[in-house]
Amino acid sequence: MTTSPISPAMAMEIMLSKIFDDVFYCTKNRAPKFCESCDGEGKIEVEIPRPHNYNRDIGVYDVKQIECDECKGLGQIKSTVDEIDF
């Protein structure tokens, strides 16, 4: 059995202090959560059907890039905790 130089009560206080600082003061560096829909680019590609016309006898699907609906074009998803101003 090993002995610790600090008491269990002191170890618990240190651990809770670190957790408190991380949660309320955001001392821990949080990596941004990237949007899975657009892979962090902020834009997605959608197919737009184009009908046939006088120059072409068949319709085609054209590709257009639009702003991602999930992240609103930012590429990162903000949580509600990030929006709270303490």
Average pLDDT over the chain, rounded to an integer: 78
| pLDDT given at position 26 | 65
Record the tokens describing residue 73, joined without a space.
């074009």
| pLDDT single digits (tens) 49-59 | 988 878 777 88
| pLDDT given at position 45 | 92
Please, what sign has the CA dihedral across residues 37, 85, 26, 18?
Answer: negative
Query: pLDDT higher for 64 or 28?
Result: 64
H/E stretch holding 24: helix 8-24
| pLDDT single digits (tens) 58-69 | 888 899 999 988
Q: Where are the domains of the chain?
A: 32-86
Judged against a pLDDT cut of 60, whether residue 46 lies above it is answered with: yes
